Amino acid sequence: MQATIYHNPRCGTSRTILGLLTDAGADVTIIEYLKHPPTVAELSRLYASAGLSPRDGLRTTEPAATALADASDADVLEAMAINPILIQRPLVETDKGVVLARPPERVREIL
């Protein structure tokens, strides 16, 4: 099984998910999204596949998220692409779909 994780190696949850994927025998592609941010189009595709709005994927604990309180979905996506710390992690994609793996057990839905 192929899996892609949008990963932050400093995040405990993200590391846990990576371990779950590895333990499941997945061939994992790791995208360190802070170094290689996804495009607006890629984020839009991921959230649509996960059945989430861009706002659902917004890391609201970040100070920069406050300015997006009344923003449109397009503006939220643009802000995430410019400032990827605003992306809630980890996003995981397999051939069975996409999940925002919070809590970590959610990743089992697509294994």
Percent of the chain with pLDDT over 70: 100
pLDDT in tens, 9-18: 999 999 999 9
Residue closest to 64 by CA, chosen among 82, 46, 48, 52 = 82
Where do the structural domains in the chain lie, given as residue ranges? 2-110
pTM: 0.93
**pLDDT at res. 95:** 95
User: Which positions ≥6 away from 55 have C-beta within 8 Å?
Assistant: 73, 76
pLDDT in tens, 44-93: 999 999 999 999 999 999 999 999 999 999 999 999 999 999 999 999 99
- In 8-82, DSSP assigns E strands to 27-32
pLDDT in tens, 15-44: 999 999 999 999 999 999 999 999 999 999
**Within the chain, how many helices (H) and strands (E) appear?**
3, 4
pLDDT in tens, 95-108: 999 999 999 999 99
In the CATH scheme, what architecture does the domain 2-110 have?
3-Layer(aba) Sandwich (3.40)
Active site residues: 11
